[in-house]
Amino acid sequence: MPPPDFLKDIFDKVDRDKSGFISIDELQKALSNGTWKPFNSETVRLMIGMFDKQNTGQISFQDFGALWKYVTEWQNCFKSFDKDNSGNIDKSELQNALRTFGYKLSDSTVEILMKKFNREGKNTILFDDFIHCCVMLNLLTASFSQHDADKDGVITLQYEQFLSMVFSLKT
């Protein structure tokens, strides 16, 4: 973890309106996905939800260290899987990343993820969408596992159980 002064400096720069909190909008402006397009607001919302310990919908300086660390770790992770240094993740890079994270997914499932998370429609995934993809996959897998007591990869759900499973996801 970097020294508090260093973090405070970044925090103050990101907190453009000097409110003492980082809003969704402020965080979105501070993050880059490597293009001129704005950082995916869904990913920003997910991250704020994860680190906003006081449930204000914003990030205080106390929460900021953990958020900063999280983003930095994702940056390193993204770089390490972007083997060709293209600034984005292609299908084989995504396959490799997911395998490394421990997911056993068929080619067609990876294809579905690729379709859903390549916002540019170019069959490559940018930094912000990569985080979004991995966080969603993690949440869905955790939710599935809760119902899969015998760990055979099969669950039986009634309609309303399914709805409650989906709607109770923290997304």
The residue ranges that bind Mg ion (CB under 5 A) are 15, 17, 19, 21, 82, 84, 86
Between 87 and 148, CB nearer to Mg ion? 87
3-state secondary structure of 58: coil
Task: State the minimum distance, in angstroms, from the CB of residue 110 to Mg ion.
Answer: 15
Task: State the minimum distance, in angstroms, from the CB of residue 89 to Mg ion.
Answer: 6
Task: State the minimum distance, in angstroms, from the CB of residue 94 to Mg ion.
Answer: 9
Between 19 and 164, CB nearer to Mg ion? 19
Q: Are 39 and 32 in contact (CB under 8 A)?
A: yes
- For residues 129 and 127, what is the distance between their CA atoms, to the nearest angstrom? 6
Between 9 and 84, CB nearer to Mg ion? 84
> In the structure encoding, which two tokens stand for residue 83, read together?
């083997």
Task: State the minimum distance, in angstroms, from the CB of residue 160 to Mg ion.
Answer: 40
Strand-pairing partners, residue 22, are: 59
> In the structure encoding, which two tokens stand for residue 70, read together?
């999280």
Between 62 and 161, CB nearer to Mg ion? 62
Orientation angle between helical segments 91-100 and 61-81, nearest 10 degrees: 120
Helix (H) or strand (E) holding 38: none
